[in-house]
């Protein structure tokens, strides 16, 4: 094992490279820089690189003041020139891992990043993959690429997987206080990767292999997907039975053991829950195993935008109106509260379905000034003024941003479909007839 590399990490003399400066990579780069290491972030997007080098942040969870201070101290820099990987002691890959249209894994970004690492691999150096992927990617795909250089594992380079656990918008849990799972392709790789992360987090949980670490990440999000699917199905069932699903969950949650409350919503979004379970089920199918729970949860969750549209339709019918020709205002389009990310947001499907039925759709989101709707161009956020609220036929609360005045929405809109249960605490008898809850 490289004592030299361990010493550089433990003494915080190491240079860390982070490939991919999005929602995962930039917060991680900032934490290493705050921990005293020098960090070079790599990205193909010149505008991102320029903003960082100017001391500016484009990620809501990372304050510009923090980036500015780290850049000024020489602890953080960004580059599009991957040749600077030769300056690094450790490289962390944080690139996107989307799905193809066939819902099969697309690891092209990982392959491209690994090619850059391969071209500039030197001894001694640690390489860590953080991008969520199927079990076996690190040792079946990345390891052979690095071995092609002629450098030797556990002598010249070390390789590990450590899953990202970023939760955008979460004020309580951020990179520095979320335990890191680390699994190397060898025992020495695990030890050195653990030493890297111990410079910025309080707890590192080492596992026996990269495959275990890869699968642990997929289990985390599959667990959430399956439980959200269960409660979303319960919400639909309760709607058909005329029972308040939120009251049911609140009652069940009083049990101090054997129950963990999950809550229904308009669908799942973001870069993890809608995608990650498919990586696990795809790998399972290659081995002749069908992961039925994963598929069923995906089916239920992907149906939720249709259920929301049904709620809109039922609410308008009760007001003797049709969806066609109605003016529908979507309140919140980001996939979760208080962030600007619309990746896989259920709002996209809801907007598309309502437009298909002939509705005139507008939206308000203080975090998303503009968004694209597949095949329908783009929409710009409208101001939530009195005329907009009173002039719509139905307001649909899809994302419960903190700074929206929901009492005003409830007072002025003639009909409100609430998919997040934010109106319950505001409800008064005179408003109950205009609220449809998920």
* Residue linked to tokens 């002598």: 155
Intrachain domains 3-208 and 228-437 with the same fold: yes
Whole-Å CA distances, 58 to 142, 320, 340: 30, 45, 10
pLDDT of residue 228: 96
What pLDDT is recorded for position 427?
Answer: 67
Neighbour-count burial of 100, counting CB atoms closer than 10 A to its CB (0-12 exposed, 13-18 middle, 19+ buried): exposed
Under DSSP, the state recorded for 142 is I
Residue 78: count of CB within 10 angstroms of its CB: 25
In this predicted structure, what is the pLDDT of residue 97?
Answer: 93
From residue 412, alpha-carbon distances to 253, 315, 389, 415 in Å are 33, 16, 6, 9
Interatomic CA distance for residues 28 and 96, integer angstroms: 15
CATH number for the domain running over 3-208: 3.40.50.720
Q: What is the pLDDT of residue 61?
A: 87
Q: Looking at the domain that runs over 228-437, which CATH code has it been given?
A: 3.40.50.720
Which residue from 383, 394, 293 is spatially nearest to 350, judged by alpha carbons?
394
Report the number of secondary-structure helices (H) and strands (E) in the chain.
15, 15
Nearest to 274 by CA among 292, 299, 309: 299
Separation in Å, CA 184 to CA 10, 142, 176, 194, 301? 18, 12, 21, 9, 34
The pLDDT tens digits along the chain (438 residues) read 688 999 999 999 999 999 999 999 999 999 999 999 999 999 999 999 999 999 999 998 899 999 999 999 999 999 999 999 999 999 999 999 998 888 889 999 999 999 999 999 999 999 999 999 999 999 999 999 999 999 999 999 999 999 999 888 888 888 888 999 999 999 999 999 999 999 999 999 999 999 999 999 999 999 999 999 999 999 999 999 999 999 999 999 999 999 999 999 999 998 788 888 999 999 999 999 999 999 999 999 999 999 999 999 999 999 999 999 999 999 999 999 999 999 999 999 999 999 999 999 999 999 999 999 888 889 999 999 999 999 999 999 999 999 999 999 999 999 999 999 999 888 677 777 889 998
Domain ranges across the chain: 3-208, 228-437
Task: Give the tokens for residue 45.
Answer: 């997007």
| Nearest C-alpha neighbor of 347 from the set 269, 435, 274 | 269
For residue 397, list its beta bridge partners: 331, 418
Catalytic residues: 272
Instruction: State the pLDDT at residue 271.
Output: 79
Strand (E) or helix (H) holding 215: helix 210-241
Based on its alpha-carbon atoms, the radius of gyration of the chain, rounded to whole angstroms, reads 24
Instruction: Specify the pLDDT at position 426.
Output: 81
Which pLDDT score is estimated for 174? 84
Q: Could you give the CA distance from residue 168 to residue 18 in angstroms, rounded to a whole number?
A: 18
Strands of 63-179, DSSP E: 76-79, 90-93, 125-129, 157-161
């Amino acid at each position: 094992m490289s004592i030299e590399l361990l010493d550089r990490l433990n003494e915080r003399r190491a240079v860390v490279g982070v490939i991919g400066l999005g929602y995962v990579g930039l917060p991680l780069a900032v934490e290493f820089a705050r921990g005293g290491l020098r960090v070079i972030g790599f990205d193909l997007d010149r505008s991102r690189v320029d903003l960082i080098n100017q001391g500016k942040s484009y990620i809501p969870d990372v304050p510009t003041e923090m980036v500015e201070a780290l850049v000024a101290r020489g602890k953080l820099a960004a580059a599009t020139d991957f040749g600077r990987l030769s300056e690094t002691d450790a490289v962390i890959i944080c690139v996107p891992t989307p799905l193809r249209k066939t819902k099969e894994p697309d690891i092209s970004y990982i392959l491209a990043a690994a090619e850059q690492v391969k071209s500039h691999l030197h001894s001694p150096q640690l390489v860590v993959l953080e991008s969520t992927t199927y079990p076996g990617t690190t040792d079946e795909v990345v390891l052979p690429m690095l071995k092609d250089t002629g450098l030797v594992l556990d002598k010249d380079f070390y390789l590990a997987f450590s899953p990202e656990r970023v939760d955008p918008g979460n004020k309580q849990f951020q990179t520095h206080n979320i335990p890191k799972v680390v699994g190397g392709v060898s025992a020495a790789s695990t030890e050195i990767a653990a030493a890297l992360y111990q410079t910025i987090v309080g707890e590192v949980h080492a596992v026996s292999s990269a495959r275990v670490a890869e699968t642990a990440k997929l289990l985390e999000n599959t667990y959430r997907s399956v439980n959200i699917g269960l409660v979303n199905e319960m919400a639909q069932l309760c709607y058909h039975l005329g029972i308040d699903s939120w009251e049911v969950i609140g009652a069940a949650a009083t049990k101090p053991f054997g129950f963990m409350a999950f809550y229904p919503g308009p669908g799942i979004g973001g870069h993890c829950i809608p995608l990650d379970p498919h990586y696990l089920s795809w790998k399972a199918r290659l081995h002749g195993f069908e992961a039925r729970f994963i598929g069923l949860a995906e089916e239920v969750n992907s149906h939720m935008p249709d259920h929301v549209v049904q709620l809109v339709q039922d609410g308008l019918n009760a007001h003797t109106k049709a969806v066609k020709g109605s003016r529908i205002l979507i309140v919140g389009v980001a996939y979760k509260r208080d962030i600007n990310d619309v990746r896989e947001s259920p709002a996209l499907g809801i907007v598309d379905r309502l437009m298909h039925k002939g509705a005139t759709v507008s939206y308000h989101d203080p975090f998303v000034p503009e968004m694209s709707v597949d095949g329908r161009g783009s929409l710009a956020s409208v101001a939530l003024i009195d005329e907009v609220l009173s002039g719509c036929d139905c307001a649909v609360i899809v994302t419960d941003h903190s700074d929206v005045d929901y009492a005003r929405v409830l007072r002025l809109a003639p009909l409100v479909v609430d998919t997040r249960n934010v109106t319950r605490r505001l409800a008064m008898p005179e408003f109950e007839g205009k609220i449809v809850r998920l």
